[in-house]
Amino acid sequence: MNAHAVNRRAVLRTTGLLTAGLLLGAAPAAAAVRRPTPAGAWAELRRGNRRWASGKVLHPHQDRARRDEVADKQEPYATVVSCIDSRVAPELVFDAGLGDLLTVRSAAQTIDPLVSGAIEYGPAELDVPLVVVLGHQRCGAISAAAHALDEGRRLPGRLQDIVEALRPAYERADGDVENMTKLNTVGVVADLKADQLLARQVARGRLKIVGAYYSLDTGLVTRLV
């Protein structure tokens, strides 16, 4: 088959897909992948969280069509840095789906060089406009670290590394575990804003880094910083 025939078939295929989409009332593909602003990405997360908290979830982007759509390319609109806690799954908390979020999870959303590299990937490689550091109510890692520090006791294995990462927040929290969670979240945001790669994106207005807090009782996320 010659090149002219191949190009003609490609054009016909593309035209057919666009026509089918318009007949079904779908927006053109370019509109569907338009990059959101940092504020727009945060607004989308907030809308999803309000649906989750109210029990009116839509479960968007969780079907076969979405799976096929993102099989070859992803364009997430936010990175969520959250705790490993089984009750704080970002896609559920923000009523999102496949291809919507990059999620980076560690105990008490602590960071180290490897975690920081994972967070950098979205803004640097995929032009993700928003990073959310999400602390949460009754965090087990925070509580365990606070108790260990209260008692002057070392935790086994690499768990002590988590304790040390949380020590600055502990020292500022006056024994209040929930305040410790919020202080740690704000501290992680400050560390990420100081990251050279992320700071360049922030300075250009292409990235926003925010800290937030998730209530296990209400399901609501509130912004801290």
| Residues tagged in the binding site annotation for Zn(2+) | 83, 85, 136, 139
Q: What single letter denotes the amino acid at residue 169?
A: A
Q: Label residue 205 left, alpha or beta by phi (over 0 means left) and psi (-120 to 50 means alpha).
A: left
* Backbone torsions φ then ψ of 136, nearest 5 degrees: -150, 160
- Distance between first and last Cα of the chain: 60
Cβ burial of 20 (10 Å; 0-12, 13-18, 19+) is exposed
Q: In this structure, what token pair is assigned to residue 223?
A: 């912004």
- Show binding-site residues: 83, 85, 136, 139
Nearest C-alpha neighbor of 168 from the set 154, 149, 155: 149
- List beta partners, residue 223: 212
Let me know how long the chain is: 225
| DSSP E strand stretches across the chain | 78-83, 101-106, 130-136, 208-214, 221-223
Number of H helices and E strands in the chain, helices first, is 10, 5
Q: Label residue 222 left, alpha or beta by phi (over 0 means left) and psi (-120 to 50 means alpha).
A: beta
